[in-house]
């Protein structure tokens, strides 16, 4: 299992999103700093050259992952 920092309070055995009862797929949004973002993407797309990302892009990518 991959580790998403910051969600330990809600994800895990006996918690609201109980991993012993549910199969969870948790994604990070593009541009949030923990996935691909302008600050952590290597050249040639670093900084201002990073593609414009919209909420729609994040929704579509999540849909594609789960379809």
SS3 track for the chain: CCCCCCCCCCECCCCCECCCCCCCCCCCCCCCCCCCCCCCCCCCCCHHHCCCCCHHHHHHHHHHHHC
The token duo for 57 is 């892009």
In a domain? residue 5: no
In a domain? residue 34: yes
Residue range 35-46: average pLDDT? 84
Torsion of CA 41, 44, 45, 48, to 10 degrees: 110
Per cent of the chain over pLDDT 90 is 30
Residue range 27-54: average pLDDT? 82
The token duo for 28 is 């990070």
Q: pTM to 2 decimals?
A: 0.58
- The model's confidence at residue 28, banded by pLDDT at 50, 70 and 90, is confident
In a domain? residue 1: no
In a domain? residue 17: no
pLDDT of residue 13: 93
Residue range 11-25: average pLDDT? 92
How many domains is the chain built from? 1
């Amino acid at each position: 299992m991959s580790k998403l920092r910051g969600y330990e309070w809600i994800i895990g055995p006996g918690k609201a999103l109980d991993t012993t009862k549910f199969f969870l797929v948790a994604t990070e949004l593009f541009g949030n700093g923990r996935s691909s973002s302008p600050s952590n993407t290597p050249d040639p797309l670093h900084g201002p050259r990073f593609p414009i990302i919209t909420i729609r892009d994040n929704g579509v990518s999540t849909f594609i992952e789960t379809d």
